[in-house]
Amino acid sequence: MRLDFDADVEAFRAEFVDFLNADLPTAAEASAQRCRSSAHVPQWARRWQCALFDNGWLQPGYPPEFGGRNATVVEQYVYFEELSRRRIYRTFNPQGVGIIAASLIQHGTAEQQRRWVVPILRADITAALGMSEPGAGSDLASLRTRATREGDSFIVNGQKVWTSGAHDADVIFILVRSDPTAPEHEGISVLLIPSGIAGGDVRPFASACGLDDVDFNEVFFSDVRVPVENFVGELNTGWQVANSSLGDERTLLWLSYADRLQEFIDDWTPSAPIDRAPTPPSSWTRGRCASWDQQKWDEPPAETAIRHPCRSSNCLVSRQFKLQPRRLWAPLESRASSAEVRPVRSRRTTSRPTRVVGSRDTCEASVPPSPEALRRCSAT
């Protein structure tokens, strides 16, 4: 789907398309070495991410020193639209680039940014996110992993679970309970823990995608000594750090995957040829996709929101988008009790609030997406 943008935005698009045509990885490169986890970046993907960073295309809204070009909100929309049409990821370490580097840009010291941010953005190193614990999934207030200040170090004890890519990561960005006497939302802090540190134990376990696609891990900390310079932000402000970085991820990712989700729905509706789908869908899946496709049009489309960009034309972090991305794809997360298939209205005949121009077709996929890759890039 293409919106009608002004000449400056289309010039931005054309420059990015020229870059993609010259530097996009080939299917042969991707098939030679697959990404085995969300913190494993093979050589071809490392070259791709470095090229994006060096040319200001990794995070266009960032300043040049962090792999961007101070792009406007609408330019960033166009950027993600072109990536989505080619079914290619910017990075195969999504937590590192989308959450951890963003957090350190906002809350880290100059030394932390030098040591961690640029290497993560250039794929010189990879990072994992240590949030979930047994009994504390998305509820950060229930964290029990402790960090106690002892001289120039913090002593960490506890356990994390479902930590994507921890066995391949060079560093783990971990949320810990730093003040057990404070209100539960106020006693959380953030530490950077390098891999292989004494007292740390990473234990991978098989994922739902199969034994050869190990991404999830349990991570145990037993009297792990972390230097104070690896402390991120202010003491007991981990809640704010986590919310700001996760806000970035939630806003950016929807742009990357909205078109891709629509493609899956197009492939899996009852009216689509069976052989279009990447895997043969069940009749229930095809029926539910048809229902979702209609429900989506009952929601205010994302294209409406992009007409009302944030006050600042140049934004460093995506929380400034002032969009409502979840409105468009909320039906995908619903738990409706009925799988009834309702008539599907055609996208080409349904009245839309914005003028749409150009083709809805996607480009030839350079790197074919896999179900496990889609899962990893949505994990936190």
Q: How many CB atoms neighbour CB 182 within 10 A?
A: 13
Is 249 a catalytic site residue? yes
Amino acid identity for residue 40 in this structure: H
130: tokens are: 């240590």
Element containing residue 73 per DSSP (H, E) = helix 73-85
Given the residues 75, 249, 263, 372, the one annotated as active site: 249
Answer whether 260's CB lies under 8 Å from 192's CB: no
User: Computed from CA positions of residues 23, 24, 27, 32, in that sequence, does the dihedral angle turn out positive or negative?
Assistant: positive
Find the helix packing angle between 73-85 and 7-23, rounded to 10°.
40
| Greatest Cα-to-Cα distance within the chain, rounded to the nearest angstrom | 68
> What DSSP string runs through 241-294?
HHHHHHHHHHHHHHHHHHHHHHHHHHHHSTTS-GGGSSSPPPHHHHHHHHHHHH
* Residue among 42, 48, 50, 60 at smallest CA distance from 20: 48
Amino acid identity for residue 81 in this structure: E
DSSP SS3 for 100? helix
On the 0-12 / 13-18 / 19+ scale of CB atoms within 10 A, 279 is: exposed
> What DSSP string runs through 127-143?
EEEE--BTTBSS-GGG-
Kindly list the catalytic residues.
249
